[in-house]
Amino acid sequence: MSTGFFSIGNDGSLIDVSEVVLPREDMLQELVAKYPRLLNGDEGLPGEPSPWLFVAREMGIPSEENQSDRWSVDHLFIDRSGVPTLVEVKRSKDTRIRREVVGQMLDYAANASLFWPMETIRDSFNETCESNSHDPNSVLEDFLGSDVDPETFWGLVETNLQASRLRLVFLADQLPIELRRIIEFLNRQMDRTEVIGIEVKQYGGDGFQALTSRTIGRTADTVKHNNEVGRRWDEETFFKAINEHGESRDESVARRLLDWAKNRGLRIRWGRGRMSGSFYPVLDIDGTPHQLYSVWTDSQVEMQFGTLKNREKFGSEERRLEFIRRLNSIPSVQIEESRISGYPKIRFPQLQSDADIDSFLATIDWAIEVIEGAEVNLTGNL
């Protein structure tokens, strides 16, 4: 019996096309890895580049710090806003797709946000590229564009991961109604994590192959959040968010950090976070950007050691340790020295007084003088 779906052959004949049932789950996994745009569902624009950076298949996840992996998620992707996207693939014939897969995915998300080191994610991305004979730097530049610093991107990924800003994708050839309801429920209840379903079907006929991808279970609130992905924050929207969600003193702290950077002649780069706004004071030296700190609408200052370690003047651990020690001279600030290659955060309440902020900005001023080439020894004497 005809399905009513036809293809026109090269000889002008009408070819019946029917759904092709994939016999194995890994065949569906391979399609997703090869064609990341399938994750767009039916919401992408024709001809637009894929918004997904493929990190790895079977990405291991531990359940304790510094322990071996306990689980593995089928795919890990990252979008252009730096949001880690966990994809679990099941065939509709797999009975686990109704309930078991939900608990499985929540286990992945809860433990990944706690125990995934950024080094592991970056190493997995590099290994995936190299296994496909691709240069990781070229792949990343093609994905981000030449105007986005890769270290800034990886720093944003780490921030999103630590804040549980994730996307969970249930992908199958057909999603049961029970799972669709769970997806909609989770989206209504979860603020920082988005949950979506994707149905991917394959069709074939005589010499014809086609794929369809459809988004399932996305609520009106989720669509609103999705439309906000990639928006560029600015001074007005940033301080509006600070006032709405922060404490009474938070606006004045953020304002001082922004105004100081402007007066120091630093370029201000506004972030594109989906739920949290940010700005990055940037010192440009001979075309090379040096990000020193970022300020977020969740009332935190994030130090950019992960970016600075790839810059000449702060490439040595000794120099970055000096940076940390100067920050730790502020009474309420205590950054572990093990974070010299990461993105440690200072909460606004740790900058309790104007004197604390003065000390913080004096340390940033010292870092700028180091980058600009002033003769500074490790005791801080000019």
Per-residue confidence band for 375, with pLDDT thresholds at 50, 70 and 90: very low
Model confidence at 110: pLDDT above 60:
yes
Average pLDDT, the chain: 86
Cα(122)–Cα(341) distance, integer angstroms: 14
Cα(71)–Cα(60) distance, integer angstroms: 6
Strands, E, within 91-206: which ranges?
Answer: 167-172, 194-205
Q: Residue 45: its pLDDT value, please?
A: 52
Model confidence at 346: pLDDT above 80:
yes
Q: Residue 124: its pLDDT value, please?
A: 95
> Quick one: average pLDDT of 370-377?
71
> Quick one: average pLDDT of 37-43?
86
Question: 81-85, 355-359, 366-370: lowest mean pLDDT where?
Answer: 81-85
Q: Residue 192: its pLDDT value, please?
A: 78
pTM for the model: 0.62
**Over the Cα atoms of the chain, what is R_g?**
24
Phi, psi at residue 316, to the nearest 5°? -85, 145
Report the SS3 class of residue 324.
helix
Per cent of the chain over pLDDT 90 is 48
Model confidence at 82: pLDDT above 70:
yes
Residues in the chain, how many?
Answer: 382
Task: Using alpha carbons only, give the angle 341, 261, 299 rounded to the nearest 5 degrees.
Answer: 65
Nearest to 3 by CA among 22, 41, 14, 216: 14
> 356 near 350, Cβ under 8 Å?
yes
Enter the tokens of residue 207.
């010499």
